[in-house]
Amino acid sequence: MGLINRAKQPRIVFILSILTSIFWCLGQLINVYYFTIIGVVFEILWFPMIALLIILPILSLIFFVKENLNLKSPYFYSFLIILSTILFMLLKN
């Protein structure tokens, strides 16, 4: 048995995509440095979130193709969430 159960893997990738999206959208929409503790948490988490922003779409796309391009796959929706987050970040500025 692997590190992550095969049945839970799509759910984990999907939840990580949602959390990454929420993190970056909130970082763009609100002033995270207004409250010191929120700014500290943001500064601690920004590097892992950048890594997830790069790794998750690649991982989702690979698993989506492995599932024979099933549109009901959580990997497909994970890819769409991360892609929309990246587009939001690029077009917001």
pLDDT at residue number 2: 65
pTM beyond 0.85? yes
23-45 per-position pLDDT tens digit: 999 999 999 999 999 999 999 99
Distance CA 66, CA 58 (A): 12
- State both tokens at 21: 């999206």
Reported as a single tens digit per residue, the pLDDT across 40-88 is 999 999 999 999 999 999 999 999 999 999 999 999 999 999 999 999 9
With a CB cutoff of 8 Å and minimum separation 6, the contacts of 85 are 20, 21, 24, 25, 53
C-alpha–C-alpha distance, residues 56 and 20, integer Å: 9
Pairwise CA distance, residues 72 & 47, whole Å: 31
Q: What's residue 8's pLDDT? A: 87
Distance CA 88, CA 20 (A): 13
Instruction: List, as one string, the DSSP characters of 6-58.
Output: TTTHHHHHHHHHHHHHHHHHHHHHS-TTSSHHHHHHHHHHHHHHHHHHHHHHH
